[in-house]
Structure 1
């Protein structure tokens, strides 16, 4: 796996964890959740775009 894709995968996992932690709070911050989910979606879109890009050796 290329290093950039690996970094994006790690970032996606960290964002997932932050979302889980925020949702477990008694009064989750909805604005923070929205931002985290938007970032996670952006990372997912970038990963998907890289997967569709032809690989050159």
Structure 2
């Protein structure tokens, strides 16, 4: 009788890549939600300009983090 094959465990590199992709997805969702919120706030004439600037600054910081994670998740060598 043959034994069932042992499950293949993911490597540390694969786990790290999955964690990066998860964080990237979370940041992209946050960025999209913030973008929609800024659009809604911009349509209102009575919006607090300071709050709007803070939201835009946070959106920009999220975009920078997304770009950084995208750089980290791309392979360094061509396949």
Superposition TM-score, scaled by structure 1 size: 0.85
Question: Within 5 Å, which residues of 2 pair with 1:38-57?
Answer: 38-55=57-74
Cα separation, 2, equivalents of 1:54 and 1:9: 14
Consecutive unaligned residues of structure 1, counting only runs of 5 or more, are none
Does 2:25 align with 1:14?
A: no
Instruction: Sort the Cα spacing of 1:51 and 1:30 in 2 relative to 1 into closer, same or farther, 3 A.
Output: same
Larger radius of gyration: 2
RMSD over aligned Cα, in angstroms?
1.8
Detail structure 1 runs of 4+ shifted over 2 Å in the superposition. none
Size of the aligned set, in residue pairs, is 56
